Amino acid sequence: MMRKEVTPPMTWRTVTKAGATVLAIACVAVGSLVTPATAQADVYTVGTGIAACNFAAGGVQVEFPDRTYDKPLRLELRTPEASRLKPLDTFYVVRATDVSLTTRGTTPVTSLAQPMRIAYTFNTIDHKRASRMNTDLPITRFRVGYWNEAQGTWQQLPSKIFWNGNEGIVEAESTLGTGLYSLIWTYEAEPLLSNLADDEIRLMVNYQQVKSAVAPYLKDGRTMVPLRIIGQELGAQVSWDTKESRIELVKGKDTLKLWVGQPKVLKNDEPLATNALSDTVVPEITQGSTFVPLRLVADALGATVNWEGKTRTVYIGTKQ
């Protein structure tokens, strides 16, 4: 098999993809599910580092934070054969993915130290098919499922749904590792396991969500984040000069200085040329907290930033 590099959504990290079978996918209806007529697989190396593995043919992305496992793992994402998907009256399977995580000794891994994140895409057509054209049914009936072989049914994972009215993403976290996962629609109103995401901006650092008491926000197209949070996540020491209203972030040999209310920034006492600041987008104090332009601080301290619009997520990368 040919080896090539796969570029995930975040440009700061590439994932080794050991090979792929490129096949045209045709879908056929089988009872209450839709399955591809052919199987295909993508192979990656994951486990000890951060990774985002985008299996486009399956409409799914699997993300791994740092130290998901204590050794490298072989990840194989495959579109399962139709015979593996058992029609059930209670669920509609939109798409499914066979996730295989093995050690180098080919031992299946069924428990992870950190949860992997599984995110499926869907759209209005999927909603119409799944709901049998009853689109008044809530979008929260979508969720990620894990096939429980012993019980012969889908284990429904608590899921978060991002939806803009036309297309969306359903995501869930799992430490179960190897297994058959799917984007499912439930025909039963209970249990309520899916939440519709709000409009707040979500911060992810190395594929782990960062919680903040005060939410980031957009200002003139730029993401503003709490100073203390971003300083901590980037490994910088933060200090504040009350007299000058000056912010100072120190990381390693680099010192970054910014002033509240001013489009001025120094890196190692030299002016830093940047378009991340403007007359209106400058460090500011809001709700008692100091906010700074994320991209400016991240770029200056050696991190990278990517924006994912569907989930309103800012991905910050500090690992090389």
Strand partners, 77: 42, 99
Report the distance separating Cα 249 and Cα 297, nearest Å. 9
* Cβ contacts of 278 within 8 Å, gap of 6 or more: 220, 263
Report the distance separating Cα 144 and Cα 156, nearest Å. 6
When the pLDDT of each residue in the chain is averaged and rounded to a whole number, the result is 87
Instruction: For the chain, give the percent of residues with pLDDT over 90.
Output: 76
Report the distance separating Cα 223 and Cα 257, nearest Å. 19
β 202-205/208-210 pair status = antiparallel
Task: Give the three-class secondary structure for 130.
Answer: helix
* Model pLDDT, residue 276: 67
Task: Give the number of other Cβ atoms within 10 Å of residue 143's Cβ.
Answer: 27
Integer Rg of the chain from CA: 22
Give per-residue pLDDT as tens, 17-30.
Answer: 444 332 222 222 23
Residue 129 gets which letter from DSSP?
Answer: H
* Model pLDDT, residue 185: 98
Give per-residue pLDDT as tens, 206-215.
Answer: 999 999 889 9
| Of 62, 61, 125, 68, nearest in space to 92 by CA | 125
pTM over 0.75: yes
- The torsion defined by the Cα of 310, 312, 318 and 320, in degrees rounded to 10, comes to 10
> Is residue 182 pLDDT above 90, yes or no?
yes
Averaged pLDDT for residues 263-279: 84
* Model pLDDT, residue 41: 76
Report the distance separating Cα 320 and Cα 49, nearest Å. 10
- The torsion defined by the Cα of 34, 39, 41 and 47, in degrees rounded to 10, comes to 60
Check: CB of residue 234 under 8 Å from CB of residue 225. no
* Model pLDDT, residue 42: 87
* Model pLDDT, residue 280: 74
Check: CB of residue 22 under 8 Å from CB of residue 47. no
Give per-residue pLDDT as tens, 150-168.
Answer: 999 999 999 999 999 999 9
- pLDDT category of residue 176 using cuts at 50, 70 and 90: very high
Task: Give the three-class secondary structure for 84.
Answer: helix
Q: What is the set of domains in the chain, with CATH numbers? A: 4-196 (2.60.220.30), 202-317 (3.30.457.10)
Give per-residue pLDDT as tens, 33-70.
Answer: 333 334 567 899 998 889 999 999 999 999 999 999 99
| Of 202, 150, 148, nearest in space to 171 by CA | 202
Check: CB of residue 195 under 8 Å from CB of residue 161. yes
